[in-house]
Structure 1
Amino acid sequence: MTFSVASQQDPAFEPWLERQLSHSASAMLASISPVSLVKHRPGFGQTLRPLVGAVVASPVLGNYDPDPDYFFHWFRDSAVVIDALRLLYVERRIGDEALRHLRDFTRFSLALNGLDGRAVAAVQGRRARVAPELLQYLREDHDLARIHGDAVVAETRVNPDGTLDILRWARPQHDGPPLRALALLRWAAAGHLDAALLAEVTPLIRFDIDFTLRHWREPSYDIWEEELGHHYYTLRVAGAALAEGAAWLEGLGDTAQAQRCREASRAVLGLLDGYWVDEGVDDLDSTRGYYRSRVLADDRPSPKALDIAVILSAIHSLGTEAAHGPADPRMQATLARLDALFDAAYPINHGRAAGRGAAMGRYAGDVYCSGGAYYFSTLGAAEFCFRAAAMGDDARHWLERGDAYLATVRAYTPDSGDLSEQFDQRSGAQTSAKQLAWSHAAFISCASARRIAGAACQAPRGR
């Protein structure tokens, strides 16, 4: 890209960006089909050998020592990774290996639909193999027994060997299927799939669209797996998957299901309009407020109402509509509120160097691990800005803001290029899961959005 805001101030910025992109590509690929790894959970009597097609959230084996155990195939995280894999392929940073990964991922995902928790619950002596001090983390038989059919893909995560997770966790979670549908629809739309691979991908797309159509109205746990309710992020990606799915189904000749998806998508967007918190201004077009992230099942107010998940929804569900996307002034106002929140809350943001944006976290009062800044949050804010630059009028402003967030990521990324989940809000040291696949995928998609924004800004604009 010849247009660059950051490189005008620091000529080392563009070379760093290229090096980091190369490292993030390699690091993310290490999480796809990590069949050489073996994970032991001796306290639970488990030895896990990943199957081809599984995507682990982190290939670095942790056991809450202090790094958390992220050796699971999360439905959400894996969809984000597979979408970033597409970008690497389209931009020719990876060859036909990407298509092989896509085929393996598709087959692994379809096989998961046949899991049945009733068989797991019926195993004699299941609890006897678990260390007594760990029984408190083991799922009850009745909880496992309800996991079959649609409930499997609402499980949040499974083991990478294709078995059900036997640990207590926040379930159900409904963002995985629409995210996976969006990722696969983008692969299909790119025109890079031959007839055989497209035939394999199609049933999985249809399953995810159908699941989303059946369940989008139901409460589920949020993106952070903490609160049960109705969530902006989950609804937004569901609405996008239904809209994109409607166009895809129309192309297949399934006009009746396409119409049902189209109507549901419109209903979702209408519902999301009600998530706007207008702070004392009567004008319906006011930007003095923010989109709240959730409505809890019992209607309790949540201190997590202002949440980076809203911004992530705008980039994960990016489509042609302007509402609830990076060009939406209300979404931009939400980012401004989040920026102010973390700018004030995190010591590493105080007195930061010129040209750096705020390190971004999840929500106010976060206490998970260091409760600090997240790479994918800060990269998500940067990508949002680049998407806004490509779609709006004030391109230079948004490019500068995006580069400022990227400069902060650069400041807290070691020379190795490794990216964990968090970096501490006081010291900036990396914390939580090491080599998080989502962090690297976020860097890949952010860099891609930056190139698109640069090209759009250089292109002549009509009146």
Structure 2
Amino acid sequence: MKFISPSVAGLVSLLASHAIAAPGGNGDNGHGSHGSSPSSRLDKFVAAEKKIALQGVLNNIGPDGSRVPGAGAGFVVASPSKVDPDYFFSWSRDAALTMLMIVDEFAFSGDKKLQAKIEQYITSQAVLQTVSNPSGTFLPQGLGLGEPKYMVDGKRFNGAWGRPQRDGPALRAITLMTYSKWLMKHGQAKKAKNVIWPIISNDLSHGGQNWNQTGFDLWEEVNGSSFFTVQTSHRALAEGQQLARDLGVKCTGCDQAPQVLCFLEDFWNGNHLVANINTNTARSGLDGNTLVGPITVFDINASCSSPTLQPCHSKTLANFKALIDSFRSAYSINKNLTDNSGVAVGRYTEDVYYGGHPWYLLTTASAELLYDAIAQWKTQRFLAVDSTSLSFFKDLYPSIKPKVYKSNTKEFNSILAAITAYADSFVAIAEKYTPADGSLSEQFNRTSGAPLSATHLTWSYAAFVTMSRRRAGSFPPTWGSSRAASPPDDPAPPPPPPPRG
């Protein structure tokens, strides 16, 4: 695989040479609001909390984030918390997902201050890619790209950790490709090609080279093959292949995308998605990992039968029901909630971290997945119910049958109304347990609902912003899932499980 050492001096010069321009349009794709009425309590909460959440994110980004003094320019800090737990680091995964939200928010709003943060992030990542760390060096094989976290000034973190983690490079590539396509649309293709593509190319080379190697999952606990990592890696490689073609450059590693998509099929066990395979864990596999993946690869124009496992895919919906149902009896605060009501959602029922509690970002992610699915059904103008997804729909619309419901029918509208109400009920759970000041920690107590673990978690804030945008009917442009190559007939062998012990 080919790795390119970016010229940081040239990068800064080129970034500074382009005026920051606001995008055209509001990015709402004409889908309208999923809310009930502007005066409703939930609408008011979402509108107010979105502003708090976006500012909460900005407060945690260097160099001028008010809660993270000492953070370098463009470095996203996970949380200002330094004790119990110490999250005062920059994780590649959290940073990329946060900046993807910022890129989308910039495209929707045209806020030049957000674009300045994006530019700083690009510069910081060009440097970060070359930092030698415990996962390895940048050259010759790019092993260091699998390092999960760094100090907030960009220096290496030398402590023991779950290494490597392979989702960070894929997510950073997705974020930078999303911004590159905005630049191309606004007459700045040269900048996308000469400044940003070398960074993207390094991450895609890493993905193409390592997709069938095991690593630690997004919760940094399980060493194996992670559904989230594989699903997002496929998007990165498939999207990279298309962007490379548009820029007239070569994407080393992107030809592996069909193999990765084929591997994604292995996570379905016939009833639900198994979050981690090729591992020795004894857990059920029901895990919030499988919520975050589909909303990260969401494509407004994707088919619900796409093997990318979009939010509206039958397997995604069946998994959603199985996962959500697992939490109905797991937490005291979910007691007596009906099957058509949202619940507080955690990582997995066997979780023991801080006692195993619901997470804000997974509760809002549940709502976001449903808003995404609704938008996809509206876009394709029909909804297909089959034996796999039937149980999901029956909780919400008991008279539903396995068939195709077309958009010009009363039943179609009634089904979507029921799912919209279901999505809103997850937001209502988040509202119920959000403090009066709107601050979002990592978790909230399974019995009392009180916030706990890391305070002002950047990912919690970012997840709320993306959910609120989807609820309002604002969706990012297609990333090209419909143009992605199909899985091969003769797939590559999957990775072996890691050794015991």
Band of TM-score, shorter chain: 0.7 to 0.9
Task: State the partner residue of 2:45.
Answer: 16
**Residue 202 (structure 1) aligned with residue 227 (structure 2):** no
Quote the Cα distance in structure 2 between the aligned partners of 1:24 and 1:75: 20
- State which of 384, 388, 394 in structure 1 corresponds to 2:373: 388
* In the alignment, structure 1 residue 168 sits paired with structure 2 residue 160: yes
The separation in 2 between residues aligned to 1:241 and 1:267, in whole angstroms, is 13
For 2:199 and 2:328, locate their aligned partners in 1 and report how far apart those are by CA, in whole Å: 42
Match for residue 241 of structure 1?
236
| Closer/same/farther in 2, CA of residues 239 and 36 from structure 1, 3 Å limit | closer
Q: Distance in 2 between matches of 1:169 and 1:358?
A: 32
The residue type equivalent to 1:186 in the other structure is T
Offset of residue 2 of structure 1: 6.4
Identity %: 26
Q: Deviations over 1:271-314 (max 9, x none)?
A: 11121112xxxxxxxxxx101111134xx353051111012100
The 5-angstrom pairing of residues 229-308 of structure 1 reads 229-254=224-249, 257=251, 261=254, 263-278=255-270, 289-297=271-279, 300-308=280-288
Please say if 1:309 is aligned against 2:299.
Answer: no
> Partner of 1:100 in structure 2?
116
Q: Give the secondary structure class of the aligned counterpart of 1:230.
A: strand
Go from structure 1 to structure 2 and tell me whether the alpha carbon gap of 1:12 and 1:87 turns closer, same or farther (over 3 Å shift).
Answer: same
Seen in structure 2, the aligned counterparts of structure 1 residues 116 and 333 have a Cα distance that, compared at 3 Å, is same
| Pair 1:363–1:347, CA change in 2 (3 A) | same
Equivalent residue of 2:312, what SS?
Answer: coil
Q: TM-score, normalised by structure 2?
A: 0.75
CA distance in 2, matches of 1:229, 1:193: 42
Higher alpha-carbon deviation: 428-437 or 348-357: 348-357
Alpha-carbon RMSD: 2.5
Name the structure 1 match of 2:453. 432
Structure 2 counterpart SS, 1:345: coil
Q: What is aligned with 1:70? A: 87
Cα gap change, 1:240 to 1:335, in 2 (>3 Å): same
Q: What secondary structure is seen at the aligned counterpart in 1 of 2:272?
A: strand
Contact 2:166–2:216 (Cα < 8 Å) also in 1 = yes
The corresponding residue for 1:286 is none
Letter in 2 for 1:401: Y
Distance apart, 1:267 and its partner CA:
1.4
Alignment match of 2:427 (pick from 403, 406, 410): 406
**2:393 alignment counterpart:** none
Q: Is there any run of 5+ residues in structure 2 with no aligned partner, and where?
A: 1-30, 378-382, 384-414, 477-501
For residue 442 of structure 1, the aligned residue among 447, 458, 463 is 463
Give the conservation status (yes or no) of the 8 Å contact 2:100–2:175: yes
Higher relative contact order (CA 8 A, sep 6+): 2
The separation in 2 between residues aligned to 1:408 and 1:6, in whole angstroms, is 17
> Can you list the C-alpha shifts for 1:198-238, whole angstroms capped at 9, x where unaligned?
34222211211111111111110011000111111100000
Q: 1:56 touches 1:78 (CA, 8 Å); kept in 2?
A: yes
Contact 1:370/1:432 (8 A) holds in 2: no
**Structure 1 unaligned runs (5+)?**
40-47, 118-143, 279-288, 456-463
Cα distance per residue 1:222-274 (max 9 Å; x no partner): 1100011111110000001011111001112246x47x52x422211211112
Q: 2:148 aligns with which of 141, 152, 156?
A: 156
Which structure 2 residues correspond to residues 24-103 of structure 1 after superposition, within 5 A? 24-35=53-64, 49-58=70-79, 60-64=80-84, 68-92=85-109, 95-103=111-119
Q: Equivalents in 2 of 1:430, 1:229: separation in Å?
A: 31
Which 10-residue stretch deviates more, 313-322 or 100-109? 313-322
Match of 2:350 among 361, 365, 370: 365
Please tell me the residue identity of whatever aligns with 1:360: V
What's the CA shift string for 1:309-331, capped at 9, x where partnerless?
A: 01210011223353311111011
Give the Cα–Cα distance (whole angstroms) in 1 for the partners of residues 94 and 33 of structure 2: 32
